[in-house]
Amino acid sequence: MSKVTRSCTPFSGQKPGTSGLRKKTRIFMEPGYVETFVQSVFNAIGGVQDKTLVVGGDGRFFNAEAIQTILRIAAANGAARAIVGQNGLLSTPAASNLIRKRKANGGLILSASHNPGGIDEDFGLKYNISNGGPAPESVTAAIFEETSKIAEYHTLETDDLDLERLGEQSLGSMTVELVDPVKDYAELMRQLFDFGKIRDLIAGGFTLRFDAMHAVTGPYAKAILEDELGAPAGSVINAVPSVDFGKGHPDPNPIWAKPLVDLVMSEHGPDFAAASDGDGDRNMILGKGIYVTPSDSLAILAANAQRAPGYAAGLAGVARSMPTSSACDRVAEKLGIGCYETPTGWKFFGNLLDAGRVTLCGEESAGTGSDHVREKDGLWAVLLWLNILAERAVSVRDVLEDHWATYGRNYYSRHDYEAVSADAAQEMMADLIARLPELEGKTAGNCQVTAADQFSYQDPVDGSVSNNQGIRIWFAGGGRGVLRLSGTGTEGATLRVYLERYAPTDGDLGVETQAALKDIAEAVAELSRLTHYTGRTAPDVMT
Ligand code: G16
């Protein structure tokens, strides 16, 4: 086994987006691509000499091969230890937990999240820092800077490791420790929730279905929901992770998890259903005959978290991404706790969590989490919901309707226009930005604009500023439209249009969501000249 230094030239476009580097798998498979990116990460963080790293991914195509490459580079750069999930598997929240629990210096997580997997689909790689959370913008900017000037990388010439064998192996002078991906995570969940109560609920006949979408949460959900909490075998479906997610799209939303939605809407649907994504950090919550929007789910969890032992002391505060509905703001106000509005990207919650300013965070993109790790956590959200349902002994629908009756309802939907020409999308945004100052007072369809701006964020902990984080348009009556371009797509541009309208407690709380938002959707399309620029008249996905 010998250490070698290979000269290389930079690959263009190794720029981390909303959540790490995401590209087509074939791009990651180009000779030297993973090597240069990983070496650039190590260069940007001051090297990995004597450091401990956690490495794992969602099991998609090329996961295992990329892990072998990462381990060689880490060893050749002098890392002391790599803690790796058996067979290269670690859900994103489980990786975050391991970084924290084992006091690792950081971690490399391989995932393109909810994007499909396969040689012609997507792959991703991101670096998480020692708090267990995604690297902040200062670090991702330094990584990108390194990728643009990299001239050599260090690696080992050696055979592949056996990623199945639990325990320690040596790779040069680095120790590689293969761990059970589920054990530590399950232990953490046991500390946060009343497993006895949830077990009693299920034993009493409460039925549930969890769709792991052929992705990484399968083993976690089986171990926790079936083996430990007593849900009957078969309650967790699509539970075996596969490299191409069963040729599916592991995105837990009403479009891609439609069979689950159809099931809960049917006569024989379970009392509770949920799904998680490729790497296990997203969640979708459903009850008999009802879908809970991620924004409502965050608000409901914030209002009820104290019913779970891990949150019995109350919440320090809550945070949500800017495009997420303001439903949780109303809960924070009632609880008299802080509420923060951050740009899209879980990395922006890290400082608030570390500083103890917030306990719960969430996003419209099906992400909810707490200070137990520094990533969003799909199964955690499911367990918190189950704990609340066990305590309140009412249905999901009752919880939701009771919430609206108490706080009013924030009607909410996101419309995605996928694989739009990147140039057209940029032009559309630039045109709208140029016209922002003149929008106030304008009428579009049935809506009148009251204000419009671009969202900027100043981190209250370290003072860093992030500009250009999305266009906001407010309408008379309290409606809002937000437009931004996704930072996680791999093909052209994905335009996201976020729509929201508030109905007070004495307003109409039972309208169909898209009907409630129709006027705002039309106004936003008109003001942004969406069809003119994109050629689209309807979104590809509505969540
Ligand atoms: C990532 C980020 C989230 C973000 C989501 C969508 O999630 O961690 O914070 O909300 O992408 O981002 P965008 O709108 O830019 O596509 P994940 O689950 O994909 O890692």
Q: What is the pLDDT of residues 63-96, one digit of tens each?
A: 999 999 999 999 999 999 999 999 999 999 999 9
Q: What are the residue numbers of the active site?
A: 113
> Which residue ranges form the domains of the chain, and what is each CATH number?
2-180 (3.40.120.10), 185-407 (3.40.120.10), 409-542 (3.30.310.50)
Q: Please list the residues that pair with 341 across neighbouring strands.
A: 320
Residue 31: pLDDT over 80 = yes
Q: How far apart are CA 328 and CA 317, in angstroms?
A: 10
Q: Which protein residue's CA is at the shortest distance from atom 2 of ligand 1?
A: 345
Percent of the chain scoring above 90 in pLDDT: 96
CA distances from 11 to 83, 150, 502 (A): 28, 9, 47
Can you tell me the mean pLDDT for 118-133? Answer: 97
| Pocket of ligand 1 contains residue 543 by CB under 6 Å | no
Q: Which protein residue's CA is at the shortest distance from atom 18 of ligand 1?
A: 113
Residue count (the chain) = 543
DSSP 8-state assignment for residue 511 = S
User: What does the pLDDT read at residue 158?
Assistant: 95
Q: 331-364, pLDDT tens digit by residue?
A: 999 999 999 999 999 999 999 999 999 999 999 9
| Pocket of ligand 1 contains residue 370 by CB under 6 Å | no
Can you tell me the mean pLDDT for 278-289? Answer: 97
Q: 360-379, pLDDT tens digit by residue?
A: 999 999 999 999 999 999 99
Q: How confident is the model at residue 255 (pLDDT cuts 50, 70, 90)?
A: confident
Q: What's the CA-to-centroid distance between 243 and ligand 1, angstroms?
A: 21
Q: How confident is the model at residue 487 (pLDDT cuts 50, 70, 90)?
A: confident
Given the DSSP bridges, would you call strands 367-370 and 360-363 parallel, antiparallel or unpaired? Answer: antiparallel
User: What does the pLDDT read at residue 489?
Assistant: 77
DSSP 8-state assignment for residue 223 = I
| Pocket of ligand 1 contains residue 344 by CB under 6 Å | yes
Q: How far apart are CA 508 and CA 257, in angstroms?
A: 29
CA dihedral (277, 281, 286, 291) positive or negative? negative
User: What does the pLDDT read at residue 437?
Assistant: 95
Angle (CA) 321 323 327, round 5°: 80
Q: Read off the pTM.
A: 0.94
Can you tell me the mean pLDDT for 390-414? Answer: 97
Residue scoring higher pLDDT (2 or 271): 271
| Pocket of ligand 1 contains residue 281 by CB under 6 Å | yes
Tell me what the pLDDT averaged over the chain comes to.
96
User: What does the pLDDT read at residue 1?
Assistant: 72
| Pocket of ligand 1 contains residue 351 by CB under 6 Å | no
Q: 425-442, pLDDT tens digit by residue?
A: 999 999 999 999 999 999
Outline where 257-395 has alpha helix (H): 258-265, 294-304, 327-335, 350-354, 378-392
Q: How confident is the model at residue 491 (pLDDT cuts 50, 70, 90)?
A: confident
User: What does the pLDDT read at residue 445?
Assistant: 92
DSSP 8-state assignment for residue 230 = -
Q: What's the CA-to-centroid distance between 348 and ligand 1, angstroms?
A: 11
Q: 215-237, pLDDT tens digit by residue?
A: 999 999 999 999 999 999 999 99
Q: What's the CA-to-centroid distance between 377 and ligand 1, angstroms?
A: 13
Q: 153-195, pLDDT tens digit by residue?
A: 999 999 999 999 999 999 999 999 999 999 999 999 999 999 9
Q: How confident is the model at residue 123 (pLDDT cuts 50, 70, 90)?
A: very high
Residue 125: pLDDT over 80 = yes
User: What does the pLDDT read at residue 69?
Assistant: 98
- Ligand 1 atom showing the smallest separation from residue 92 Cα: 20
